[in-house]
């Protein structure tokens, strides 16, 4: 199921194999950055007992509505988005 969602975010049948490969790498990189941001948020919370003042570093997230579009824009998530 998770793999299906990953492919749905990255794969666009209208694009070439090379373009889809690059998109898969980009989405995988985004997922890794979001996972790292979650770990950073948890460490911050354990130290400070709050997320107030936490600023995520480097995480980008492409909204699912943009996932099927070639080169969808990426936005920096706020804490609530990536902690869900």
Mind listing the pLDDT tens digit for each residue in 2-57? 778 878 888 899 999 999 999 999 888 888 888 899 999 999 999 999 999 998 88
| Polymer length in residues for the chain | 84
Contacts with 48 (C-beta within 8 Å, 6 or more apart), sequence order: 54
pLDDT at 59: 58
Range of the domain at 58: 2-83
Contacts with 82 (C-beta within 8 Å, 6 or more apart), sequence order: 34, 37, 38, 41, 56, 59, 61
pTM, rounded to two decimals? 0.58
Total number of domains in the chain? 1
């Amino acid at each position: 199921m998770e793999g299906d969602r990953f492919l749905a975010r990255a794969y666009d049948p209208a694009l070439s194999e090379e373009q889809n490969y690059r998109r898969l790498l980009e989405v995988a990189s985004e997922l890794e950055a979001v996972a790292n941001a979650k770990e950073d948020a948890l460490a911050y919370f354990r130290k400070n007992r709050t997320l107030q003042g936490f600023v995520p570093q480097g995480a980008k997230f492409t909204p699912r509505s943009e996932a099927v579009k070639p080169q969808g824009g990426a936005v920096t998530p706020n804490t609530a988005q990536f902690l869900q």
